[in-house]
Amino acid sequence: MAQAPARAASAVRLFDAHCHLQDPRVAAVAPALIRAAATSGVARFAVNGTSEKDWHLVKRMAEDHPAVVPCFGLHPWWVPERSPDWMDSLRRFFSETPEAAVGEIGLDKGSHGKTIDFGDQVEVFWRQLELAKELDRPVSVHCVRAFGDLLEILKQIGPFPAGVLLHSYLGSAEMVSGFANLGCYFSLSGFLTGMKSSKAKKMLKSVLKYVASLLEMSEAELAETSYKNAIKLFSYPGSKVHPEAEAN
């Protein structure tokens, strides 16, 4: 039986599909932030690990909070610091935490990313994509200025029936269909990290309004559509997210 998180009084339900509540800058206030966000309708948080150093923090947070969906992955920025047995360690986290998804992994040619060997980034990314396919888990992908490389790699390894979340999508509109055909979903940035809960609430609401106006949908329709998409993505076998339990 799924352990459903506390329902908000608010009618709008949201799923923060990508955040880093284990980040040392917010970890201490994370429990308060999760409670505050719940009152504004954020029912779930996919908390993404970034390196071998924080996977245990993500695991513990998911054990402590029913609303937290754990994700384990090696982020491109932390590729140079990986230990020789990082992959064994990652596999261990997945076997100990069967409800986990894969993330955050990716490619980065931005101002920081370009200081990191791109061949190494590709190798680390590739191995984790294969792991996501093997485990049949959704995967959260970070991409900065490398959307062409990303599409090529996803085409070679994909498709991804369990889904790929492209977080903070900034690729071209033309590439959207190519990514979508491989099983990709698109997300906006992780507003909540490093932000006061009051500010985060305001931000979530204004972003929703803006995106809804762009799509000519009502705010409530957009919220419900994106919530359902996230539920679909994160309700893989073994997950603590169950579509039936979240439906009402």
How far apart are the two ends of the chain, measured CA to CA in Å?
A: 15
d(CA 135, CA 101) in angstroms, rounded, equals 9
Q: Residue 115 is encoded by which pair of tokens?
A: 């200081």
Q: Per-residue b/e over 82-96, b at no fewer than 16 CB within 10 Å? A: beeebeeebeebbee
Q: How many helices (H) and strands (E) does the chain have?
A: 9, 7
CB of 15 to Zn ion, least distance (A): 15
CB of 104 to Zn ion, least distance (A): 5
- Tokens 């991804």 appear where? 160
CA proximity to 58, closest of 47, 66, 67: 47
Q: Which is nearer to Zn ion, 54 or 104 (CB)?
A: 104
Site string for Zn ion, 183-222 (x = CB under 5 A): ----------------------------------------
CB of 215 to Zn ion, least distance (A): 24
Instruction: Calculate the CA dihedral of residues 150, 102, 225, 42 and round it to 10 degrees.
Output: -130
Question: Candidates 101-109, 123-131, 179-187, 205-213 — which segment interacts with Zn ion by CB under 5 A?
Answer: 101-109
d(CA 177, CA 90) in angstroms, rounded, equals 31
75 is in an annotated binding site: no
C-beta nearest to Zn ion: residue: 104
CA proximity to 116, closest of 139, 142, 91: 142
- Are 167 and 17 in contact by the 8 Å Cβ rule? The answer is yes
Q: Which is nearer to Zn ion, 189 or 229 (CB)?
A: 189
CB of 218 to Zn ion, least distance (A): 29
152 is in an annotated binding site: no
Instruction: Answer yes or no whether residue 104 interacts with Zn ion by CB under 5 A.
Output: yes
CB of 18 to Zn ion, least distance (A): 6
Q: Which is nearer to Zn ion, 16 or 104 (CB)?
A: 104
CB of 94 to Zn ion, least distance (A): 19
Q: Is the peptide bond before 104 cis (omega within 30 degrees of 0)?
A: yes
Q: Which is nearer to Zn ion, 12 or 179 (CB)?
A: 179
Question: Candidates 5-13, 25-33, 63-71, 103-111 — which segment interacts with Zn ion by CB under 5 A?
Answer: 103-111
Give the count of beta carbons closer than 10 Å to the beta carbon of residue 104: 28
Instruction: Answer yes or no whether residue 246 interacts with Zn ion by CB under 5 A.
Output: no
Site string for Zn ion, 51-70 (x = CB under 5 A): --------------------
Binding residues for a divalent metal cation: 18, 20, 104, 142, 167
Binding positions for Zn ion, rule: CB under 5 A: 104
Binding residues: 18, 20, 104, 142, 167
